[in-house]
């Protein structure tokens, strides 16, 4: 089995596993299969998923060309777990949503996963960093896509310590996302022979990081760890550059997206250490896919969460087919195979 076909098999098997445990959509040509995208459409993570993610979901449906209707709905969780849970419950109880895509807030993802488990529906995370999503709070209805805190923190923390970044200071979002990411990274830092000298937790949406950056600068640490994301990350990076920290300390950010680099600029991000699971210009296949989704991206290039939205939707539809709920579509475009 080739690497590509093995990934295709494993991805479809994972989605099929979640669907096998969950209630399958009983559409039987009587109503559309309904997919709900629960994301941030008005806050700091809008560009990470938001309208672009919805467009990628729709592109996946167009590429697979199912011979029955598929409807996409979306809701703004406003980065609040209670609002996200309320939307998920309404979707499952009254709106006929069959599958929920959750991101990019971990607290919302965890809340949505619990509702999906209660309602026996699949919840597929595309930007849920907290490892509890598939760890302590794992359930048979949940699959995580794209990345999690374990993957991102292991790669960045381990390699940064190996490169000489032994003493760390963290600036961390005071929520499930930030605390999970810092905890995962700390374990890998210590396993690689490094240590964490201190940390500052801050409320999401902060604009002034001066006090935290000064604390990091005076801590004796040689590495600044950023367990934050979205516009918070941009503000922190720009202020760190103004303080000269990015020139005197290694700076490792655990969740960085392409739009972050574009928004902050190369001067601000030139020494930034991070890892990613997708890059649009990697090869001919990623470039061909990008050409198809660009019209839905509002002038931006897709990042790893957008690719995750596409992939999770494609595998969901393939899983329905594998389970006998979706007849083969003769017009399906096998663009991913050479």
What pLDDT, on the 0 to 100 scale, is given for residue 4? Answer: 30
User: Which residues is 167 bridged to in the sheet?
Assistant: 195
Residue 336's Cα: distance from chain center in Å?
A: 22
What is the 3-state secondary structure of 159-182?
Answer: HHHHCCCCEEEEEEECCHHHHHHH
Distance CA 71, CA 74 (A): 10
**pLDDT tens sequence for the chain (338 residues):** 223 333 443 454 455 555 555 555 554 445 789 999 999 999 888 888 899 999 999 999 999 987 678 999 999 999 999 999 999 999 999 999 999 999 888 899 999 999 999 999 999 999 898 888 988 899 999 999 998 888 889 999 999 999 999 999 999 999 888 998 899 999 999 999 999 999 999 999 899 999 999 999 999 999 999 999 888 999 999 999 999 998 899 999 998 988 889 889 988 998 899 999 999 999 999 999 999 999 999 888 999 999 999 999 999 998 887 776 654 444 444 433 33
Cα–Cα distance measured from residue 313 to residue 139, given in angstroms and rounded to the nearest whole number: 20
pTM of the predicted model as reported, rounded to 2 decimal places = 0.79
pLDDT > 90 fraction of the chain, expressed in percent and rounded:
65
Let me know: does 223 contact 188? Beta carbons within 8 Å: no
Counting runs of H as helices and runs of E as strands, what totals does the chain give?
13, 10
* 37-60 residue pLDDT tens: 999 999 888 888 899 999 999 999
Sheet holding 33-39, edge to edge: 70-76, 33-39, 99-102, 123-125, 142-144
Give me the domains of the chain, ranges plus CATH numbers. Answer: 3-147+280-322 (3.40.50.2300), 149-273 (3.40.50.2300)
What does DSSP assign to residue 1?
-
**Number of neighbours of residue 170 by Cβ within 10 angstroms:** 27
């Amino acid at each position: 089995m080739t690497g590509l076909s093995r990934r295709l098999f494993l991805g479809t098997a994972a989605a099929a596993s979640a669907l096998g445990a969950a209630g399958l959509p009983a559409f039987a040509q009587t109503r559309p299969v309904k997919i709900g995208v629960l994301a941030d459409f008005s806050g700091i993570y809008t560009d990470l998923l938001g309208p672009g993610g919805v467009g990628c979901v729709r592109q996946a449906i167009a590429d697979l060309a199912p011979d029955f209707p598929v409807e996409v709905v979306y809701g703004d969780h406003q980065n609040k777990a209670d609002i996200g849970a309320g939307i998920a419950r309404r979707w499952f109880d009254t709106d006929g949503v069959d599958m929920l895509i959750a991101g990019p807030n971990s607290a919302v993802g965890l809340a949505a996963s619990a509702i999906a488990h209660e309602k026996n529906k699949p919840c597929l995370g595309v930007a849920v960093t907290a490892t509890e999503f598939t760890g302590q709070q794992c359930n048979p209805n949940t699959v995580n896509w794209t990345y999690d805190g374990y993957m991102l923190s292991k790669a960045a923390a381990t390699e940064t310590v190996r490169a000489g970044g032994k003493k760390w200071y963290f600036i961390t979002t005071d929520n499930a996302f930030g605390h999970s990411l810092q905890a995962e990274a700390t374990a890998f830092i210590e396993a690689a022979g490094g240590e964490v000298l201190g940390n500052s937790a801050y409320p999401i949406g902060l604009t002034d990081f001066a006090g935290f950056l000064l604390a990091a600068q005076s801590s004796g640490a040689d590495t600044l760890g950023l367990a934050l994301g979205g516009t918070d990350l941009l503000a922190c990076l720009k202020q760190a550059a103004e303080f000269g920290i990015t020139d005197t300390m290694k700076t490792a950010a655990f969740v960085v997206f392409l739009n972050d680099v574009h928004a902050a600029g190369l001067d601000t991000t030139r020494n930034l250490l991070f890892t990613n699971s997708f890059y649009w210009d990697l090869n001919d296949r990623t470039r061909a896919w990008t050409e198809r989704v660009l019209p839905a991206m509002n002038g931006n290039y897709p990042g790893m969460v957008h690719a995750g939205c596409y992939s999770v939707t494609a595998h969901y539809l393939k899983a329905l087919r594998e389970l006998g709920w979706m007849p083969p579509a003769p017009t399906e475009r096998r663009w991913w195979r050479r």
